[in-house]
Homo-oligomer: A and B are copies of this chain.
Amino acid sequence: MAVTIKDVAKKAGVSPSTVSRVLSNHPRISIETSRKVKEIMDQLGYHPNIMAKSLVSKTTNSICIMLPKSAEELFSNYFFMELIRGIVTQASKLGYDILISSGANEKEEVECVSRLLNGRRVDGVILLYSRKDDPVVRFLEENGHPFVLIGRSEHYPECLSVDNDNVQASYDATKHLISLGHERIGFVSGPPDLVVSRDRLKGYMNALNDSGLEMRPEWIVEGEFLQESGYRAMSFFMNLPNRPTAIVVIDDVVAFGVLRGLHELKYKVPEDLCLVSFNNIPIAELSTPPLSSIDIGIYNLGYTASQVLIQAIQNNNDKKYQRRQIIPHRLIVRDSSMYSVSKK
């Protein structure tokens, strides 16, 4: 019922091979034939069957995004959607379709990726997160499938990845607070099994070291990417005898939790506590007070990931080019950190 290459061929009085060549802009086809065939295609409303094409060409022009498993962290919706927009935009530009998938757990994730890749449904995969020891990454790496990580892998440092320099970003955030005269600076971290948590912690520690500032274990708190974590961290900090006057927070969402808690307890930001966080999601600007935050270029991360992966697919995954792309970050200073401490 659907019109095929044969129908076009018959009506145009040529062979199916010729129609196929017209379709792929084969150079050795007469301009005359090409024009005629194209006309007939329009006339008949011909659309090439993508599945048939991909069956014979052994390439799908599709890549797959693995969504992190759960919706636990509702806020991260902003982050992931922005990433997806970047990915989709660039992929479309390069003629690739995007499949989006998720699994309820790591085992399902591996199965899903395996089905899609081995079943020749997609040419490669983008992973939106980097866990410490991820079976999905292991599977992809061991089977030689093209993939790119947003973030980085400690086990497979040579895998394709698009990331920020999180150590430097955190260093910058901390230095910013130090430059305002703060000497007791705390850090609210994320889940310890995420590479990003550790990188940012490291940057914070480097900055303190370089400035010869005191570092105390009780000034470092781990949590989730949830506002509850921020809330808890805040109450912990504020009860400390010699509490920090400023903190670096792993994520804007967590920082909101801190802000809410401080507000409830009638503390003032930035007077009682200065804050800098990461991601610079749009509401960072809208909170009271507006949040200083490191813009990590989320859209750019996605956009670049798409580009790098498709490049790898088309170059047959050779290792000639840059394996690791760093997206620049930028500190956006707002009211939450605009308070200088006078030195004693």
Cβ–Cβ contact B92 & A121, under 8 A? no
Output the least CB separation between A166 and chain B (Å). 22
Give Cα A299 to B77, complex, Å. Answer: 12
A72, chain B: closest CB distance, angstroms: 11
Q: Does A20 contact B (CB under 8 A)?
A: no
The answer to whether B99 touches A98 (Cβ under 8 A) is: yes
Contacts of A78 in B (CB 8 A): 77-78, 81
- Do the beta carbons of A98 and B97 come within 8 Å of each other? no
A78-B78, A84-B100 known; A47-B114 Cβ under 8 A? yes
Band of interface residues on A: 35 or more
Instruction: In the complex, identify which listed stretch (A32-40, A52-60, A177-185, A198-206) lies at the interface while the others stay far away.
Output: A52-60
A50 within 8 A of B: yes
Q: How many copies does the complex hold?
A: 2
> Contact partner of A99 among B51, B82, B97, B256, CB < 8 A?
B97
Q: A117's closest neighbor in chain B, by CB?
A: B47
Residues of B within 8 A of A13 (CB): none
Looking at the complex, which of A235-243, A282-290, A321-329 is the stretch in contact with chain B?
A282-290
Pairwise interchain contact A77-B81, C-beta atoms closer than 8 A: yes
A248 to nearest B CB, angstroms? 21
Closest to A89 in B: B102
A2 to B119, CA, bound (A): 9
Q: Is A263 an interface residue (CB 8 A)?
A: yes
The interface bits of chain A over 97-127 (1 if a CB of B lies within 8 angstroms of the residue's CB, else 0) are 1111110000000000011101111000000
Beyond A84-B100, A100-B98, A102-B92, whether A51 also contacts B121 by CB under 8 A is yes
Closest Cβ–Cβ distance, residue A138 to chain B (whole Å): 16
CA distance A114 to B42 in the complex (A): 13
Q: Tell whether A31 is near chain B: CB-to-CB under 8 Å.
A: no
Q: Which of B82, B97, B119 contacts A101 (CB 8 A)?
A: B97
Q: A48 interface residue, CB < 8 Å from B?
A: yes
* A binding-site residues for B, Cβ under 8 Å: 2, 45, 47-52, 54-55, 60, 62, 65, 67, 71, 74-75, 77-78, 80-82, 84-85, 88-89, 92, 97-102, 114-116, 118-121, 227, 256, 260, 263, 282-283, 286-288, 299
Known contacts A51-B119, A97-B116; can you find 7 more A-B pairs with CB under 8 A? A49-B120, A50-B115, A51-B120, A65-B100, A71-B82, A98-B100, A283-B283
Top 4 nearest A-B pairs (CB, nearest first) are A47-B118, A77-B81, A81-B81, A50-B119
